[in-house]
A and B are shown apart, each in its own frame.
Chain A
Amino acid sequence: MAQFISDIPQVFWDGLFVGSFYALIALGYSMVYGIIKLLNFAHGDIYMVGAFIGYTILTAIGGTFHMLGLFALIIVMMISMLITGVIGVVVEKLAYQPLRGAPRLAVLITAVGASFALEYGVAAIASPNPRGFPVRLDGDFVLVLGARVTIPQIILMLIAGALMIALDTYIRRTSTGRAMRAISLDMKGSLLMGVKVNAVISRTFFIGSALAGAAGVMAGAYYGKIDFLMGFIIGLKAFTAAVIGGIGNIRGAMLGGLVLGLVESFGSELVGGQWRDAFAFAVLILFLTLRPTGILGERVTERV
């Protein structure tokens, strides 16, 4: 028990760190769901694609990276964001847009198909074996309240935080953000009011996918290993995070990501690391059955 108490700061920090990844991916899930009520199964795979794009670019530029360091990683991340964003839009245009208004079952199955196509597309192109990421972020750590906090961890969390703040501002302050909120309340009404619904939805997919792509590159650089199925579990967890926060709610997704990270971190400390994923999914099932609106989800459910 004493051991556990002394571990608390470390467990807390680890949870927070992993949680910020979940939050970044959960945002895309939540935005898309909030706007067109689509559960985009392929979203986790966009994260994986992001990691592979980062891998490809970094491998291509090879040794030059070490001269440029972190700055180069950020540039690579931005390029990956751009490409994953476009992939997200293409997936939406090809797979989801033709099915707008179709029965939910058909749309869900399409999403599973899109996810499958992305996973095995990457496996076919890049081989199904795991790849070592050419860049590994490791570095000195500082002790904060007894927790080992590495510099890259801090940098990655700062990047994640900056992206989230940027997104939040975008949605609150710009006309596109307003259009997104309008569509989520009433798509037909927005269309009648002259909102370019399809364009806004595309932009939503772009932003969500770009964020997931960023998370992919960051995860690759941090964990050092990527494979074509890496998006599956994390996609499921990001969805869990979105649900915990209240799906469709942007700040909820961020909060949900952090909460899930913490719950999972403490949970696996208590019941053993091999149960980590099972524990996270159990949390998902509990939330969905007991409080499907999530922590901050009140606003999206007021419709009767």
Chain B
Amino acid sequence: MTIDNSTESIHTVEGGGKKRGAAAWISSVFENKYIGLVALAIALLMPFLIATPYAINIMTTAAIFVVLAAGLNIVVGYCGLLDLGYIAFLAVGAYTAGIIAKAFELPVLFTLPAVVIMCILAGLIIGAPTLRLRSDYLAIVTLGFGEITRITANNLTITGGPSGIYNIPGFLSIGGIDFQNPIIFYYLTVLIVAGLVLAAARLGKSRLGRAWKFVKEDEDAAEAMGIHTYKVKLLAYIFGAVWGGFGGMLFASHLTAISPMSFVFLQSALVLMAVVLGGMGNMKGVVLGALAISLLPELLRDFAAYRYLLFGLLLVVVMVFRPQGLWPPRGAEAERTKAQREAAAFANGLKK
């Protein structure tokens, strides 16, 4: 067969005028390949700018919030499943880490396998019966599960009831370096979070990640291509749960105390806002959204009474005017180069 080179190369030329000035500059900065590394570098340099215990505390909390947003982005952003009880997975991770670490006097890090297993189980328990439901039912069921998790934590003795668990052992301590030192713990958190964000982003750009997006866009078409939509959705749920569990583990060892009050619906809603405002499915946007949601209230203390009102209104406004989020995934990739095209044409010629 023949390939018309001319048409393809004409099409490759940017249609319409190039974006100019500030907009182009901003978009080139944000779409830059190394933006993630730059963000990581900034995060690592922050303690050199402000190292007050208060600031470090806020930044650590923000980093943990980022990992939650990254996890929820897998579920909502990639797979299109609205989870309104996502904070339940943070609770499962935090309580698993807290209970085991305290009972066996282990550093929290050693609870990791248990945390991952418990979160996979939680994802299965919540996901398996509900993922066949239509999307709005799913949303409300996850909300119900979130509440059930909190109420359970509130009522059981093993979880310490309403007062929760306190005096959770440190994250790790080897050779005199105590990771409970706030600055060391901040660095540790940033590195773990960066790793998890990168991993989630990479998942999004793999076969599984594409399957998630196919399911999000058109379940029937995905099924017709042989994608077992139920299994794929369950996997999104489980990955989301595990990310939440990591967040929970960091959360427990950061605060050394957890109680059911930390796992209310408000928290689920805030993580969702980070994902939605940032741009569902775009990991960079979601990280930015998470940082905005967790850090802005610190900067806008004067508006404390109105901030959640503003968040709510913002959510409505963004959905009405820009339903894909403020910074949606670009949905573009590199075209074939001329050389590749010719090589393909040659190979096809041989096949014939």
Contacts and interface: CB of A to CB of B under 8 A. Distances in A.
Direct contact of A and B (CB under 8 A): yes
A171 interface: no
Given A277-B147, A278-B148, A114 B312 contact: yes
A99 B269 contact: no
Interface string A247-272: 00000000000000000000000001
A108 B129 CA distance: 21
Contacts of B320: 94-95, 98-99, 110
Most chain A CB within a 10 A radius of its CB, from B133, B144, B151, B306: B144
Nearest to B275: A109
- Determine the main DSSP class of A at the interface with B: helix
B136 A285 contact: no
Contact of A278 (B80, B147, B311): B147
B147 A120 contact: no
A117 B312 contact: yes
A103 B81 CA distance: 12
B308 A116 contact: yes
A288 B137 contact: yes
Contacts of B269: 112, 116
Contact of B155 (A99, A114, A233, A275): A275
Given A104-B135, A239-B140, A113 B152 contact: no
Contact of A109 (B129, B154, B305, B315): B315
A281 B147 contact: yes
B191 interface: no
Contacts of A114: 312, 316
B155 A274 contact: yes
Interface string B74-94: 001000101010000000000
B35 interface: no
B50 interface: no
B145 to A, nearest CB: 7
B316 A120 contact: no
Contacts of B84: 112
Nearest to A277: B151
Interface residues of A, number: 45
Given A236-B147, A288-B130, A110 B140 contact: no
B197 interface: no
A281 B144 CA distance: 5
A34 B308 CA distance: 30
A39 B323 contact: no
B323 A103 contact: yes
A121 interface: yes
B133 A288 contact: yes
Contact of A108 (B135, B141, B305): B135
A116 B136 contact: no
A119 interface: yes
Nearest to B306: A124
Contacts of A107: 319
Contacts of B168: none
A117 B313 contact: yes
A284 interface: yes
A107 B143 CA distance: 16
A105 interface: yes
A103 B319 CA distance: 10
B140 to A, nearest CB: 6
B312 A115 contact: yes
Contacts of A239: 140
A104 B133 contact: no
Interface string B241-285: 000000000000000000000000100010010001000100000
Most chain A CB within a 10 A radius of its CB, from B276, B314, B319: B319
Interface of A: 37, 39, 94-95, 98-99, 102-110, 112-121, 123-124, 232-233, 236, 239-240, 243, 272, 274-275, 277-278, 281-282, 284-285, 288-289, 292
Interface of B: 76, 80, 82, 84, 129-130, 132-133, 135-137, 139-141, 143-145, 147-148, 151-152, 154-155, 265, 269, 272, 276, 280, 305-309, 311-316, 319-320, 323
